[in-house]
């Protein structure tokens, strides 16, 4: 019987390992972040990220086993992120996972990073199917119709920038450092979200796609036309910009829930740490009698517990990875 899954995640700038029992009980969740290294470059430098993953992967796996209180031999299977992500970074986790599975003679399973962000919601809640999942990360903004633990149908996505990218690029324009989402979130708390009227792109469209590059451009023009505003009203700029992102995310998720006649909603991914998105989605969906599930921040940002969890459900459905398969994706997770 497969019960204890070691999960490994290295798609971007976090080296992570975790042990999860039966897909739902996290026994450990170790994340080694490289954010301090990359912040001085204003973004993730892929070559540096791969090298840091090589240094961290074994200590992080050992720490995950230790924190879980399990021996290497008690691991029943290994799950690893196959993509999307930076190819050099993915290769490190991939190679480690393969080597561990091979040496222990245990099954290996490959997991999609974005689908795993959805599965993260099962780590803290029992959620009945079907549900609509909004995944908002640094590289993706996707809406899914989810009908089972391994049944994900992509129903909408961003046509250009992701929501996290919109936060990070705005922070750069405003001189707030990297990654910018957290800083914009913090400054927004003392700002007026109705002060500046930023556009809400694609709300007039009937599909479930998003677009954020125009929003970023309108911020750029606003700053160009009002250069003194960064000094005078940074909190109002942040709050108004954040509100435009959050409004469109929630409006599209709500219209998907209505169209598919679904009562359960999941919001996950790094941007789901945003306090306004959390607060506003709880307000909007509960008011309509819907159930909203947003994982704790440690399960929203990149982590390996979500990889172990989805790995478990994929193994349960009979999937096994071939040892000779390579990694494939190059887009950021
Ligand atoms: O899912 P994630 O940890 O990594 C990727 O797979 O990309 O997401 C990272 C993204 C970054 O763009 C970061 O700025 C954003 O999540 N983020 C936030 C907040 N915390 C992290 N965005 C807005 N508000 C936050 N509090
Ligand atoms: Zn992610």
Helix (H), strand (E), coil (C) string for the chain: CCCEEEEEECCCCEEEEEEEECCCEEEEEEEEECHHHHHCCCCCCHHHHHHHHHHHHHHHHHHHHHHHCCCHHHCCEEEEEEECCCHHHHHHHHHHHHHHHHHHCCCEEEEEHHHHHHHHHHHCCCCCCCEEEEEECCCCEEEEEEEECCEEEEEEEECCCCHHHHHHHHHHHCCCCCCCHHHHHHHHCCCCCCCCCCCCCCCCCCCCCECCHHHHHHHHHHHHHCCCHHHHHHHHHHHHHHHHHHHHHHHHHHHHHHHCCCCEEEEECHHHHCHHHHHHHHHHHHHCCCEEECCCHHHHCCCCHHHHHHHHHHHHCCCCCCCCCCCCCCCCC
- Distance between Cα 59 and ligand 1 center (Å): 25
pLDDT value at residue 326:
61
User: Which pLDDT belongs to residue 296?
Assistant: 98
pLDDT of 41 reads 86
Question: Rounded to two decimals, what is the model's pTM?
Answer: 0.95
pLDDT at 42: 83
Burial class (CB in 10 A: 0-12, 13-18, 19+), 47: exposed
- The DSSP bridge partners found for residue 135 are 142, 268
Under a CB-based contact definition with an 8 Å cutoff, are residues 128 and 264 in contact?
yes
- Ligand 1 neighbourhood includes 249 CB (under 6 angstroms): no
- Using the predicted structure, report yes or no on whether residue 330 has a pLDDT greater than 60: no
Q: List, for residues 156-192, the tens digit of each pLDDT value.
A: 999 999 999 999 999 999 999 888 999 999 999 999 9
Tell me, using a 6 A CB cutoff, whether residue 301 lines ligand 1. Answer: yes
pLDDT at 325 over 70: no
pLDDT digits (tens, 9 = 90+) for 281-311: 999 999 999 999 999 999 999 999 999 999 9
Residue with CA closest to ligand 1 atom 26: 274
| Å from CA of 310 to ligand 2 middle | 14
| Across 46-73, average pLDDT | 96
Q: Which residue has the higher pLDDT, 321 or 286?
A: 286
pLDDT band at 331 (very low <50, low <70, confident <90, very high): very low
For the beta sheet containing 77-83, the strands, ordered from the edge strand earlier in sequence to the opposite edge, are 25-33, 14-21, 4-9, 77-83, 108-112
Q: What is the pLDDT of residues 122-143, one digit of tens each?
A: 999 999 999 999 999 999 999 9
For the cut 60, the answer to whether the pLDDT of residue 329 exceeds it is no
On the question of pLDDT at 328 being above 80, the answer is no
- State whether the beta carbon of 138 lies less than 6 angstroms from ligand 1: yes
Confidence of residue 327 (pLDDT cuts 50, 70, 90): low
pLDDT tens digit sequence for 231-246: 999 999 999 999 999 9
Percent of the chain with pLDDT over 70: 97
The angle at the Cα of 301, spanning 292 to 288, to the nearest 5 degrees, equals 10
Closest Cα to atom 6 of ligand 1: 333
Phi, psi of 266 (to 5 degrees): -120, 135
**Residue from 33, 93, 138 whose mutation best tests the ligand 1 pocket (most atoms within 8 A of CB):** 138
Least confident range from 32-46, 190-204, 234-248, 261-275: namely 32-46
- Give yes or no for a contact between 132 and 266, defined as CB atoms under 8 angstroms apart: yes
Hey, whose CA ends up nearest to atom 7 of ligand 1?
A: 138
181 lines ligand 1 (CB under 6 A): yes
CA of 1 to the centre of ligand 1 (A): 36
pLDDT at 316: 96
């Amino acid at each position: 019987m497969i019960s204890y899954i070691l999960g490994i995640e290295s798609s971007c700038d976090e080296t992570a390992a975790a042990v999860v029992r039966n897909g739902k009980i996290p026994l450990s969740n170790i994340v080694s972040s490289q954010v301090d290294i990359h912040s001085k470059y204003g973004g993730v430098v892929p070559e540096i990220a791969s090298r840091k993953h090589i240094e961290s992967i074994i200590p992080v796996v050992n720490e995950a086993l230790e924190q879980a209180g399990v021996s290497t031999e008690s691991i029943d299977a290994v799950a690893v992120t196959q993509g999307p992500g930076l190819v050099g970074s993915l290769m490190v986790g991939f190679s480690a996972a393969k080597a561990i599975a091979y040496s222990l003679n245990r099954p290996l399973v490959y997991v999609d990073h974005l689908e795993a962000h959805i599965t993260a919601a099962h780590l803290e809640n029992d959620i009945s199917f079907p549900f609509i999942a909004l995944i908002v990360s640094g590289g993706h903004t996707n809406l899914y119709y989810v009908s089972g633990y391994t049944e994900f149908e992509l129903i909408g996505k961003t046509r250009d920038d992701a929501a996290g990218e919109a936060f990070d690029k705005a922070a750069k324009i405003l001189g707030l450092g990297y990654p910018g989402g957290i800083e914009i979130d913090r400054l927004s708390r003392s700002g007026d979200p109705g002060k500046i009227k930023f556009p809400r792109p694609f709300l007039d469209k009937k599909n479930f796609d998003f677009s954020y590059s125009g929003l970023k451009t309108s911020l750029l023009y606003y700053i160009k036309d009002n250069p003194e505003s960064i000094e005078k009203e940074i909190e109002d700029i942040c709050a108004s910009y954040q509100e435009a992102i959050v409004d469109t995310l929630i409006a599209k998720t709500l219209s998907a829930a209505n169209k598919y006649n679904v009562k359960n909603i999941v919001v996950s991914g790094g941007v789901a740490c945003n306090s306004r998105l959390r607060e506003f989605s709880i307000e909007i969906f509960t008011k309509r009698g819907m159930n909203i599930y947003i994982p704790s921040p440690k399960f929203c940002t990149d982590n390996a517990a979500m990889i172990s969890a989805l790995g478990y459900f994929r193994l349960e459905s009979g999937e096994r990875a071939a040892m000779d398969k390579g990694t494939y994706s190059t887009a950021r997770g």
